[in-house]
Each structure stands twice: as C-alpha cells, then as structure tokens.
Amino acid sequence: MTGALSAQQAQSLKEFRDFADLRIAPHADSWHRAQRTPPEVVRLLADEGLLGLPVPSRYGGGGCDAVTLGLLAGELGRACSSVRSLLTVHTMVAHAVARWGDRALKETWLPRLASGETIGALAVSEPGAGSDASAVTTRLVRDGDDWIVDGHKKWITYGQSADLFLVVGQSDQGPTALLVERDTPGLRTELIEDLVGIRASMTAHVYLERCRVPGAQLLARPGLGVSHVVGAALDLGRYTVGWGCVGILDACLEASVDYASQREQFGSLIKEHQLVRRMITGMYTDARAARLLALEAGRLRDEGDPGALAATSTAKHFAATAAGRAALDAVQIHGANGCGSDYPVQRYLGDSRVMEVIEGSTQLHQVGLAEYAFQERALRRSIR
Amino acid sequence: MSTDTRARIAQYLSRFFPVQDLKDDDDIFELGFVSSMFAMQLVSFVEHEFAITIENEDLELEHFRSIKALDAFVTRKLSVPAAG
C-alpha cells in the first residue's frame, strides 16, 4: 500500500506514524473526555512544523506536496480526529490566503500561519446556514477603508482557541471573505460542549458585533467569498477530512484485530467467529480502498489536474461513509466493552458521525458526485 | 486570439454545456448549468491547461464569462511574463 509513495513520502509517513503513536494517540481519550485540546499540544504540532507543512516554503512553511499532507492527516486522524481537525481548519485558512490573498496579505499572515504563531479557523457556518454557505447572513458593510462586521458564526472548529478567523458574510456585492483577528473589539467566542464527536476540537460560537476590520484583510474580491475563497478552502478541507477518515478506518481495524485476537467467547478467540471475521474483512477492504482513493486525489492535486476536485470529493465521500461502517462494526466487535470508555472505539463512532456531516454531508455528495459522472460522459461524447 | 485556445476552452466547457449550442460570446454564468464547484473547476482547468497562474487580481468575472473572454484572458496572460 505504500508502494505508490516516493522514498521521501514513505519516510515522512514513518515519522508521522511515530509522532501520532507516541505523542497523540496515548492522550486522545483523555482529551476527548475533557473536551479540550491542551494548548501545549497545539504548540507541539507547531514546533514540529506540522501545522505549516503545506505552506509554501518562501513563506516559512514546509512546502510539502498534497500526498504528504494527506499522509499527515491520515496519521493524525488515526490517533485523534480532534487534532486532525486542527490541521484541517488551520491549513484551510492558510490555503485560502495563499490562493487568493494579495501579496501584502500573504506576507503578513503566511509566515505566522506557517510557524503556528497564529492559528487559523474557518468561520462560515451560522445557526441558519450550514451546507448552503451562500445563505450566510453575517453583514459586511464598508466604512471608509474598513469593513464593519456583524454576525453570529456557529460550529467553528477550534473557534475557542484560534487567533485568526476567515469570516464569510454578505456585502453589497455578495458573499465576501475577510480575515478577522481574535482580539478585534466586538469579537467573542463561546465553547460548544457535549458534541457527539471531535469532542476535543474546541468548537465554538463566534459572535461579531460591530467588528471593525481593515480593508487590507479582504480575501479575493467582494462577491467571490463563497465561489472562490470557500470553494478553495473546502476543497482542501475535504481532502484532509477524507484522509482523516482513512485514519479512523485504520484505527477501527487495528482496535478490532487486537481485541478479536485476545477476547475469548464460547471457548475460542472471537477472531475465529465467522461473523466477526466478516466485519473485519469489510473494514480491511474499505481501509485499503479509501487509502487508494485518497492517494489518487493527492496525486491529481500535485499534478494540478482539474480532475482533482472530483477525485477529492469521491475520496472524502467514500472514506467518510466507510469510516462510519467501520466504527459501527468496531463497537459491535467489542461488545459491551465497545460501549464504554475503556476502549477508544466509542470515540471513533462519535467522530465518524461528524465526518459524514462536515465538509459536504454524505447526502450532498450523493447528490453532487453524479454531476462529475455526467460531465465526464459529456466530454467523451464531445470528443467522439 | 487563437483558434487552438478557443477550441481547448470549448472542449472543456463541453463537460458542462452542450457546446454545439454555445456561441463564443454566450454568457456561461447566465446559462444556469453550472454547479457550485464550477468556479474552482474552471480556474483549475485554465491554470493546468495553459500553464498559467490565476492571481487574486485576475479574479474579474468578466475574464471567465464566455469562451471569447476566456480566450482573450489566456492570450493576455501568456503574453506577459509571470511576476516573480
């Protein structure tokens, strides 16, 4: 399965795996129970250069390729979906700035995002606007050279601890994206607790009341906040979430194989029970298929191929739904032990539920992916 | 203006529109066939197909509105050396 990787990517994978096993996985259940990511964990990721890995090297980042970023997201996702979510939201903001920021904005923010001195979060969702990002009601009004921002953002992953928010609202010219700093007067956050999954992800409400934001913080042009800024950020988010689901699949498989190899019932290890083997076969197959789809999406992204968008959505959709199946089966294999907190599989179950909601719900993908099939068929007909 | 550039643009757009019906100056944003990811697909295609980078300052919808406009935009970008 690692044969498709270059020697450097394979080495990176080994380092990511060791880091996740030693520094993240042993603590993930306690962070899950505490519903917090300790600040020192964020610092650790930053100091290791992991948060800035995909930021262009000219701005102090690692300048890594998409496959390498995916491998990191996969290993973090295997250890802790909350920490993987931090990588996702932070890199979404950095990517949006790198893609559509003007030179001054890039020079101001990318070095800070690359070092982790500044942690970014995407502030799009609102109480009344989720999948339909263009329906956001946060108001952006020009006042001289500044913008005045009023609105309420909800479900903002790492919103409780982030330093910089990519806020999307409505201006007179349509959906518009701005970078808003946490210490802007009028901005406050409130932690949302008792989530079903990614419970350590510091997910928060973000309230913006007459926040004055310099015009230089504008990303792309007014009117392009959803089609281009959110479009670019979500595309990368789908990619790392998809890889995070590959990690959940691996985690479910590892936990289930370990448990089935030591648990005895009816006088034999349950790994000998045919219906247990059937569930493990399903996970094993899905984990490999999801990884291959994610690798293909990464390869196309690295080639700049326009087909990367469809490949990314396909990988995310497959991996998220497969992670859901795997987590259900992992709990089932663990029996009563899977329902309690002594084993991590109940955490995987909650996390997998969230994966089918974020970065394009399963139902949005079920409706949308068909579009790519029609496009590809139409192209073939036109060539003929 | 280049016939080749126009043909490549038209062929890509055939994914989204029945191109035999699409005139060079038809407004593709007003035709209503585009999906939510169309803008990103179009940017990605133009960058990949013509080996150019679309920057923030290039993001004028007028550049992407029709085959004719895209052709003119690509031709102009190809004639200007990329900024360091």
Residue of chain A whose alpha carbon sits nearest to that of B10 = A382
> Closest partner residue to B37 among A309, A376, A382, by Cβ?
A309
Contact A175, A227 (CB under 8 A): yes
Q: CA A278, CA A218: separation in Å to the nearest integer? A: 53
Collect all residues of chain B within an 8 Å Cβ-Cβ radius of residue A100.
56, 59
Task: Write down the residue that tokens 């699949």 correspond to.
Answer: A249
Window A:186-225, CB contacts with B under 8 Å = 220-221, 223-224
Q: CA B8, CA A357: separation in Å to the nearest integer? A: 37
| pTM assigned to the model | 0.94
Q: Chain B contact for A382, CB < 8 A?
A: yes
- The whole-number mean pLDDT for each consecutive block of 10 residues of chain A, a chain of 384 residues, reads 86 98 98 98 98 97 98 98 98 97 96 98 96 93 98 98 98 96 98 98 98 97 92 96 98 98 98 98 98 97 92 97 98 97 97 96 92 80 64
CA dihedral (B1, B5, B10, B12) positive or negative: negative
User: Which residues of chain A does CATH 2.40.110.10 include?
Assistant: 120-222
CATH topology of domain A226-383: Butyryl-CoA Dehydrogenase, subunit A; domain 3 (1.20.140)
Collect all residues of chain A within an 8 Å Cβ-Cβ radius of residue B37.
231, 235, 309, 313, 368
Calculate how close chain B gets to A235, using CA atoms only, in Å: 9
- Going by the DSSP 8-state scheme, the letter that residue B83 receives in this structure is P
- Which pLDDT does position A163 carry in this prediction? 98
ipTM of the complex: 0.82
User: Which residues of chain A does CATH 1.20.140.10 include?
Assistant: 226-383
The DSSP-derived string for A40-61 is HHHHHHHHTT-TTTTS-GGGTS
Q: Match domain A120-222 to its CATH number in 2.40.110.10, 3.40.50.300, 1.10.490.10, 1.10.220.70.
A: 2.40.110.10
- Going by the DSSP 8-state scheme, the letter that residue A206 receives in this structure is E
Q: Report the SS3 class of residue A169.
A: strand
Assign B81 a pLDDT band (cuts: 50, 70, 90): low
Collect all residues of chain A within an 8 Å Cβ-Cβ radius of residue B11.
379, 382-383
User: Which residues of chain A does CATH 1.10.540.10 include?
Assistant: 7-115
Q: CA A34, CA B61: separation in Å to the nearest integer? A: 48
Instruction: Return the number of other C-beta atoms located less than 10 Å from residue A258's C-beta.
Output: 12
The angle at the Cα of B71, spanning B15 to A232, to the nearest 5 degrees, equals 60
Assign B62 a pLDDT band (cuts: 50, 70, 90): confident
Residue of chain A whose alpha carbon sits nearest to that of B42 = A306
Collect all residues of chain B within an 8 Å Cβ-Cβ radius of residue A376.
15
The angle at the Cα of B40, spanning A115 to A351, to the nearest 5 degrees, equals 60
Burial class (CB in 10 A: 0-12, 13-18, 19+), A86: buried
Contacts of A200 (CB under 8 A, 6+ apart): A28, A31, A32, A34, A35, A36, A37, A80, A82, A83
The helix (H) or strand (E) run that includes residue A74 is: helix A66-79
Collect all residues of chain B within an 8 Å Cβ-Cβ radius of residue A101.
56
- Which pLDDT does position B84 carry in this prediction? 42
- Which pLDDT does position A212 carry in this prediction? 98
Q: CA A229, CA A221: separation in Å to the nearest integer? A: 9
In a mutational test of the B interface, the residue from A109, A312, A364, A375 whose CB has the highest number of chain B CBs within 10 Å is: A375
> Closest partner residue to B14 among A228, A306, A382, by Cβ?
A382
The alpha carbons of chain A give a radius of gyration, in whole angstroms, of 21
> Mean pLDDT across chain B, nearest whole number?
83
Instruction: Return the number of other C-beta atoms located less than 10 Å from residue A328's C-beta.
Output: 18
Q: Are A371 and B39 in contact (CB < 8 Å)?
A: no
Q: Chain A contact for B83, CB < 8 A?
A: no
Q: Match domain A7-115 to its CATH number in 1.10.150.120, 2.70.98.10, 3.40.50.300, 1.10.540.10.
A: 1.10.540.10
Please determine, for residue B40, whether its predicted confidence score (pLDDT) is greater than 90: no
Contacts of A234 (CB under 8 A, 6+ apart): A92, A133, A359, A360
- Which pLDDT does position B27 carry in this prediction? 87
Assign B12 a pLDDT band (cuts: 50, 70, 90): confident
Largest pairwise CA distance in chain B: 40
Q: CA A14, CA A16: separation in Å to the nearest integer? A: 6
Q: CA A116, CA A51: separation in Å to the nearest integer? A: 6
CATH topology of domain B3-79: 1.10.1200
> Closest partner residue to B39 among A102, A228, A368, by Cβ?
A228
Q: Chain A contact for B82, CB < 8 A?
A: no
Q: Chain A contact for B54, CB < 8 A?
A: no
Q: CA A365, CA A370: separation in Å to the nearest integer? A: 8
Please determine, for residue B82, whether its predicted confidence score (pLDDT) is greater than 70: no
Per-residue CA distances from B31 to A218, A225, A371, B7, B21 (Å): 29, 21, 16, 19, 11
Collect all residues of chain A within an 8 Å Cβ-Cβ radius of residue B44.
304-306, 308-309
Residue B80 φ/ψ, nearest 5 degrees:
-110, 125
Window A:26-65, CB contacts with B under 8 Å = none
Calculate how close chain B gets to A343, using CA atoms only, in Å: 40
User: Lowest-pLDDT range, A312-316, B7-11, B15-19, B43-47?
Assistant: B15-19
Q: Which residues of A are catalytic?
A: 359
Calculate how close chain B gets to A209, using CA atoms only, in Å: 28
> Closest partner residue to A375 among B15, B19, B44, by Cβ?
B15
Per-residue CA distances from A78 to A4, A28, A179, A330 (Å): 20, 10, 31, 14
- Which pLDDT does position A257 carry in this prediction? 98
The angle at the Cα of A378, spanning A322 to B17, to the nearest 5 degrees, equals 110
Contact A297, A314 (CB under 8 A): yes
